Chains A and B, each alone.
Chain A
Amino acid sequence: MLRPRANDPSVLILTSLADGPKHGHALAKDIQGFAGASLGPGTLYGAITRLEERGLIEPLAADDRRRPYRITAAGRDTLAQALAEMRRVTEVGQARLALGPVGLS
């Protein structure tokens, strides 16, 4: 189970892989581009290790030393669940903001 947080490295990696396989550095660049989050190699590979252990991503044949990863079917399901949870929180937040600020009397 992923933590349904937009800045969780696992969510970011699965989101990045949702449109096709990428190797480590390409993942970091893509994530920087769409989320503005800078994942260092240590954090990135820690998350890759956990995702692979859980069968949410899988390695492809290495190109030189750079090994691409792709999201698995289980990874897509898990990402969809995490995004749905985040969407629920987003909708609640937006609905409450629409009510306008409430001051304490």
Chain B
Amino acid sequence: MTRRRDPATLLRWYPPAWRDRYGDEFVACVEDTLGETGARLTARMQVSIACAGLRERALRAGLAGDQLPPDGRVRAGALLVLCAWAAFVVAGVAFSKLSEQFDTAVPAAARALPWGAFRAVQIVAVVATVAVMIGVLLAVPAFWRFIRGGGWAAISGHVARATVATVAVLATTVGLVAWAHSLSFGQRNGGDGPFELAFLAWALLVATTLGLWTVAGVAVGRRLVLTPGILTAQAALAGVVTAAMTTMTIAVAIWWTAMATRAPWFLHGTATGSSGSAFEPRLAATMAIMLGAVIAASYGTIRAARSWHDLRAAQ
């Protein structure tokens, strides 16, 4: 398969500093390679270049290789866990919505397992949130030094974008709540097309806002000067958050399995007592996000733990 594509567009996979240094000669090399055979950029070549560019990004971010010193690698691992946590929160909110009032759909005698799994998700979510908050609080003194040292200019753009998105979320939430009050329970839960669409758009806006704040957090986190003690705490907290995410994912899987066997009608929204497939696409998408977040967080935690050992050895 071939596509007409300007080789220069492939540079977007690489980090800006790399593009500044190697961009022109890299594009010339790609053009020479293609010019010699008269070939176009193949999909394989594009994928290969994209992978090389992403690897370069990972190396420069401290998520691969040993280009950064150990403290930078510990920080990179912890920040990856933070990003994974943000994605997990989005999935968690979706799960919360999808499981709304599930207990009323399950016969009382069969309620223990799904209820227990759901409670486990709630309790562990609190533990993980507290761990994230402790991590943020531990970084506050370094953040204050960073701001006093003139660091605001480096992060103002990120913070401004996230703030604008937050204001938009607040404004749309007020509108959505007012709209919801004029609807019945059934209309609010899938019975009204326009409201469903507006709710989906609002959910996307919330997820985008969370993503923008996470980007701002990473931009700040990469610039802070943290002591070895704080880095050690951040690495430990990253492990706690990863363990919590893993536990919650398992609990959600147990909840899904329990509901599929005890109250499948709840999953596909049919009359109580009816049978049907245990597969629910929105729940499957939610689980996929959770699993992806757990994998990313596990990598970040392992990265932070290994780099922490290097940090200790270097001291």
Contact = CB atoms under 8 A, between A and B. Distances in A.
Nearest to A66: B28
Contacts of B48: 40, 42-43
Decide if the interface of chain A is mainly helix, strand, loop or mixed. Answer: helix
A41 interface: yes
Contacts of B29: 23-25, 28, 41, 44-45, 66
A13 B220 CA distance: 38
Given A42-B48, A45-B22, A49-B22, A25 B55 contact: no
Nearest to B34: A41
A95 to B, nearest CB: 36
A15 B15 CA distance: 28
A88 interface: no
A46 B52 contact: yes
Contacts, number: 61
A42 to B, nearest CB: 3
Interface residues of A, number: 19
A41 B67 contact: no
Contacts of A65: 24-25, 27-28
Interface string A33-69: 0000000111111101100010000000010111100
Contact of B26 (A28, A41, A53): A41
B25 A42 contact: no
Contacts of A44: 29
Given A41-B49, A65-B25, A49 B32 contact: no
Given A45-B22, A53-B67, 9 more contacts: A23-B25, A24-B29, A40-B33, A40-B48, A41-B49, A42-B50, A46-B55, A65-B27, A66-B28
7 contacts: A23-B28, A25-B36, A40-B48, A41-B52, A48-B22, A53-B67, A65-B27
Interface of A: 23-25, 28, 40-46, 48-49, 53, 62, 64-67
